[in-house]
């Protein structure tokens, strides 16, 4: 399995760049991954979504879908797209150190 150096820490990733072990994740890694996704600053609103996704993945064993994020976290779809443009479920999963959500291409 490939590895990648992110925020000074070597982590395991898959061929698409998603971390494969969510326990290797930390907030510094999230900041660096967000920058790679074009998000220069993680605001409290970003962290709310990231923390929801990490907890949902811990509970279910997989990253939540866009629909799960909007309905269960109470984040309107429009707001989610504003926070994580062009594919929010996939972006937030990557930033949160989770695998790619089911249904994402």
Q: Which residues are catalytically annotated? A: 104
Tokens of 24: 């290797």
Q: List Cβ neighbours of 87 (8 Å cut-off, separation of 6 or more).
A: 104
| Alpha helix stretches (DSSP H) within the chain | 27-36, 44-60, 66-72, 77-83, 88-95
List b or e across 78-87, with b for residues whose CB sees 16 or more CB atoms inside 10 angstroms.
Answer: eebeebbeeb
Nearest CA to 60 out of 98, 15, 16 is that of 98
């Amino acid at each position: 399995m490939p590895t990648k150096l992110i925020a000074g820490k070597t982590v395991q990733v898959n061929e698409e760049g998603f971390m494969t072990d969510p326990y290797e994740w930390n907030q510094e890694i999230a900041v660096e991954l967000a920058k790679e996704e074009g998000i220069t600053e993680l605001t409290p609103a970003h962290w709310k979504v990231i923390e929801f996704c990490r907890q949902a993945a811990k509970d279910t064993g997989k990253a939540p879908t866009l629909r799960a994020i909007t309905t269960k976290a109470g984040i309107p779809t429009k707001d989610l797209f504003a926070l994580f443009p062009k594919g929010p479920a996939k972006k937030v999963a990557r930033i949160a150190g989770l695998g790619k959500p089911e249904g994402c291409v």
